[in-house]
Homo-oligomer: A and B are copies of this chain.
Amino acid sequence: MSAEIICVGTELLLGDILNGNARHLARQLADLGIPHYYQTVVGDNPARIQAAIAIAIERGAKILIFTGGLGPTPDDLTIAAIADYFKTPLSERAEIIADIEAKYRQRGRVMNPSNRKQALIPDGADVLPNPVGTAPGIIWRAADDVTILTFPGVPAEMRAMWTETAIPYLQEQGWGDRVLTSEMLKFWGISESVLAERVGDLFDSENPTVAPYANYGEVKLRVAARTEDEASGRALIAPIAAKLRQLGAPHYYGSDDATLASVVGKLLGDRSQTLAVAESCTGGGLGQSLTAVPGSSAYFWGGVIAYDNSVKANLLGVDADDLAREGAVSEVVAMQMAAGAQSRLGTDWGLGITGVAGPGGGTPDKPVGLVYVGLASPDGTAIARELRLGDTRGREWVRRVSGNSALDLLRQALLA
């Protein structure tokens, strides 16, 4: 009972986009315990799509999962190619037209005639509703032992449709009878190799498994168990996860959907305290990550993007002499920015970031990657941390790591 993933899109063959859909679906299949041995990428070409179907069936796949090619344009051919392979006519489904029209109406527009094509579904197939966009998918038992699922290439739409409709359907069919339960533990301020040394032979554990991931300065450990039900999985994971949290303390900050911004938000909310930010090199990125958390208005009041030095002085009250003497990228300016945000917005805490994100602007004294994060506390004191992030990993890396370092500074203070 294996599945195959077939991703349709000439843009994949041209290398225009990363195949994030294949990765997402692969992980989902692994989590459901549905084996999958091959993935195929093919262009927007009916004959080649059909050749890929024939090969997948020939090598024993019972579930064929397609992404891409469901849009309204002439190069969107996936559904027609599949229907033609199984010699099944397409018919227009009124409920799809109604759904697309409603989505257009909501945005104050009228459905475009080209969208009508998206309502053509093979006879006998079920509609796989798209809660986000206009392109529906299909779930179709196209032959005795071949089930077809199609998803749009737009990742957010594909993911929503997979979660809301495909998983329940697959489980109802009795597929995915073993459950993969996992916890992703997240750490900040420790390198992958140092954490790996601490974890040691826990990496050899077979059920649950422990695997490391690292990205943008963050290190993660995924603990995953395959069991008959989720409760047994949780029971297997719990002691290993507890041990890993202990080994990675105080760098462990949360699991799964937790972000540094959400963890800090929770800690602030628990204390009914508020936060303001002052950003130079991050230019708003810290505020953006804080406000990516729904409900953040309860503790995040806002801040000042002080990109130009005049803004640091005028809107945050950074001392002009200090700015001139120490430079904008300095410990004292980071602390004054944090304190300025705190006092001007009237919050309990203030965070400030100033640095050289690059690629230009570095000097021997203040090289690219030099960043100061400042924290102003409710007791009226302020501290700063110096980061030396180097010039090899690019501007966005420096900005993102700076923002997370500021959040972690506040997290440690809230836990102290």
Chain A residues at the B interface, C-beta cutoff of 8 Å: 10-20, 22-30, 36-43, 45, 48, 51-52, 55, 59, 71-75, 103, 106-109, 112-115, 131-133, 154, 156, 191-194, 196-197, 203-204, 211-215, 222, 224, 277, 279, 281-288, 290-292, 294-297, 300-308, 310-311, 314-315, 344-346, 358-360, 388-390, 392-397, 399
Q: List chain B residues, Cβ under 8 A from A288.
A: 282-285, 288, 399
Bound Cα distance A290, B283 (Å): 8
Which of B13, B191, B300, B392 touches A132 (beta carbons < 8 Å)? Answer: B392
- Are B287 and A283 interface neighbours, CB within 8 A? yes
Q: Is the CB of A307 within 8 A of B292?
A: no
Taking a contact as CB atoms under 8 Å apart, the answer to whether B305 and A284 are in contact is yes
Q: Which residues of B contact A156 (CB under 8 A)?
A: 393-394, 397
Docked-complex contact A14 and B106, CB < 8 angstroms: no
A110 → chain B, closest Cβ, in Å? 10
Q: Do residues B114 and A196 form an inter-chain contact, with CB atoms below 8 A?
A: yes
| Residues A15 and B23 in contact in the complex (CB < 8 Å), given A284-B291, A287-B305, A294-B359 | yes
Contacts of A24 in B (CB 8 A): 15
What residues on B are CB-neighbors of A12 within 8 Å?
22-23, 26, 39
Q: A59 — which chain B residues lie within 8 A by C-beta?
A: 51
User: Which residues in B have their C-beta under 8 angstroms from that of A28?
Assistant: 15
Given contact pairs A45-B37, A213-B11, A301 touches B291 in the complex (Cβ within 8 A)? no
Q: Which residues of B contact A304 (CB under 8 A)?
A: 302-305, 315
The answer to whether A108 and B307 touch across the interface, beta carbons within 8 angstroms, is no
A211 is contacted by which of B16, B131, B394, B399 (Cβ under 8 Å)? B16
- Closest chain-B Cβ to A205's Cβ sits at a distance in Å of 12
Q: Are B15 and A41 neighbours in the complex by a CB distance under 8 Å?
A: no
Q: 13 interchain pairs (CB within 8 A)?
A: A13-B30, A14-B26, A112-B191, A114-B197, A154-B215, A279-B284, A284-B291, A288-B288, A288-B399, A294-B360, A302-B306, A303-B304, A315-B315
Q: What's the minimum C-beta distance from A159 to chain B, rounded to whole angstroms?
A: 10
| Given A197-B112, A397-B156, A344-B315 contact (CB < 8 Å) | yes
Residues of B within 8 A of A55 (CB): 55
Tell me the bound Cα distance from A292 to B13 in angstroms.
29
A251–B366 Cα distance when bound, in Å, is 41
Q: Of all chain B residues, which has the CB nearest A11? A: B213
- For residue A336, give the distance in angstroms from its CB to the closest CB of chain B: 15
B112 lies within 8 A of A193 (CB): yes
Distance of A121 Cα from B366 Cα, bound (Å): 36
Q: Are B283 and A291 in contact (CB under 8 A)?
A: yes
Q: Kindly report which residue of chain B lies nearest to residue A115, judged by CB atoms.
A: B193
With A14-B222, A107-B389 already in contact, 10 other A-B pairs whose C-beta atoms are closer than 8 Å: A12-B23, A12-B39, A13-B30, A22-B41, A51-B59, A71-B214, A112-B194, A283-B290, A294-B395, A297-B307
Contact A30 B45 (CB under 8 A): no
A190 to nearest B CB, angstroms? 11
- CB pair B279–A10 under 8 Å, yes or no, is no
A30 to chain B, nearest CB (A): 5
Chain B residues with CB under 8 Å of A27's CB are 14-16
Partner of A41, one of B39, B283, B296, B300: B39
Q: How far is the CB of A198 from chain B (nearest CB, A)?
A: 11
Would you call B42 and A75 a contact (CB within 8 A)?
A: no
Is B292 touching A305 in the complex (CB atoms < 8 A)? no
**Bound: A308/B113 CA distance, A:** 43
Q: How far is the CB of A11 from chain B (nearest CB, A)?
A: 6
Contacts of A112 in B (CB 8 A): 191, 193-194, 197
A57 to chain B: closest CB distance in Å?
A: 13
